[in-house]
Structure 1
Amino acid sequence: MKLFFEKVRTPKKDMSLKIQIMVTIGIIMFGFALGVFQKWMDGSANNLLPLLLQQLDIGNYFGRLAIWILLATVISVYSKSPLRASINTFSFFISMLMGYYLYCNYVLGFLPKTYMMIWVVIAFATFFIAYICWYAKGKGIIAIIISGTIIGVLFAQAFNLTQGFYIYDLMEVITWITSIIILYRNPKELAAELGLSVVIAFLYQLVMPHFG
């Protein structure tokens, strides 16, 4: 089994453990800061943000799914191994939740424990999902299926496919395009990846409602 997956993508061993730990600490700090920033945006008037961010509706953007899928994908695929992808992605989401809910508790004075526990469970799930997502930057049909699925879910966040074709939000379109750039492969495989992503997006919208 190990040899099979190494044919898809081989873990890199060109980074010392010390550097890997420093990278994970950096990801933890970034996640914590992003969690605090997100909750600050939730609890602040929109006009406190720069005009461009107001026009892009950046506060609501961070309250939707697409940006978190993209960030998890970036952390996963640029890690040195699937295990490091799991550790880094899980660390990011746990630290983000810590920043978010510590701000809730100590600045805003409330703590929605039930809602918080749901997101903690999701964060633990990312440990296993990230392990799989790491192979999206690999070779062959397995990598195409994984990357096509990621792009397809983001496509479903950006466009309506089941009730007429239209854009949900510009930021989700930018997120979808960014995912294609990150998961780019040779033209033949890219075409297969994008074709699969349309099927995934359509199926996703059949079973999952869109939250705008």
Structure 2
Amino acid sequence: MEIQNKLSEIRVEKKSTTKQNFFSVLSAITIGMILGLVAKLVDDQGINPIFDAIGGRLGVWIFVATLIAIFSYSPKLAAFKICSFFVSLLTIYYLYTVFFLNFFPMREIVFWGMCAVVSPVCAYVMWYARGNGFLSSAVLALPITALLSEGYQLRNAYLPEHTHYYLIPILMGIYLIMVIILLIVVPKRRLEFLIVLPISIILSLIIIYFNVLGRIFGGLNGVL
């Protein structure tokens, strides 16, 4: 009870009806299905590789999931919505892969399945990013850290047939735009970015220096 009171000081849950919760979850599922289908359709060398290069990495999904989570009525609903979002997204993506392309990418399914499993916990915590106090700023710094770290490491990105490296600055620019959007949309206080950004930069430098993403994902963070 004491922990709940502390959390309520950071951000208070909004009262919502069963109908509102239903349509909120339904919207997350719908977005997941649409993005899952789009991600699969652009996963083709005939399409501009910039789309696959974005969709095949964690950054864009962290960005979308963060927005879905923070604009939920409660942290529990955020957790359920994000779980529904990733399950619907991955279901559509890999059903298309298996039944239409006759391909069963086990390693990728396991990797993204693990991401889906931990996503509700992340969403629950992320809901408090749009709150008050230092803790909310620290929470918001987490997705921005991930975007900055992965965006910087795109300088070594592999693009199809080694002929599209001119797109790397564009990809890095898109990551920067996602960071700016989060810094503008999420905080309730105008100058909160002065706290969030330094934390994110410091954490990003640590992650980049110790190659944390490479050690954790072992090359899997580039395929969906």
Q: TM-score scaled to structure 1, two decimals?
A: 0.85
Per-residue deviation, 1:159? 3.2
Task: Give the share of equivalent positions with the same residue, in percent.
Answer: 26
Q: Structure 1 residue aligned with 2:183, among 169, 180, 185?
A: 180
Pairing of 1:1-212 with structure 2 (within 5 A): 1-13=3-15, 15-43=16-44, 45-46=46-47, 54=48, 57-159=50-152, 169-207=172-210, 208-209=212-213
Separation in 2 of the partners of 1:57 and 1:8?
A: 38
Mean Cα deviation higher: 122-131 or 176-185 = 176-185
Per-residue deviation, 1:188? 4.2
| Amino acid corresponding to residue 9 of structure 2 in structure 1 | K
1:74-111, Cα deviation, whole Å (9 max, x unpaired): 01100000000000011100110001000001111122
The aligned residue for residue 157 of structure 2 is none
RMSD of Structure 2 on Structure 1 (CA): 2.1
Q: How many residues align?
A: 198
The aligned residue for residue 160 of structure 2 is none
Q: Would you say the 8 A contact 1:158–1:176 is kept in 2?
A: no
Separation in 2 of the partners of 1:24 and 1:185?
A: 24
Q: Would you say the 8 A contact 1:156–1:201 is kept in 2?
A: yes
Q: Would you say the 8 A contact 2:131–2:187 is kept in 1?
A: no
Mean Cα deviation higher: 177-186 or 28-37 = 177-186
What residue ranges of structure 1 are gaps of 5+ in the alignment?
Answer: 47-53, 161-165
Separation in 2 of the partners of 1:132 and 1:4?
A: 14
Per-residue deviation, 1:43? 3.4
Q: TM-score scaled to structure 2, two decimals?
A: 0.81
The aligned residue for residue 218 of structure 2 is none
Separation in 2 of the partners of 1:201 and 1:169?
A: 15
| Amino acid corresponding to residue 52 of structure 2 in structure 1 | G
Separation in 2 of the partners of 1:123 and 1:194?
A: 27
Per-residue deviation, 1:209? 4.8
The alignment partner of 2:42 has SS state of helix
Q: Would you say the 8 A contact 1:149–1:197 is kept in 2?
A: yes
Query: Cα distance 1:187–1:18, how it changes in 2: closer, same or farther (>3 A)?
Result: closer
Q: Would you say the 8 A contact 2:75–2:128 is kept in 1?
A: yes
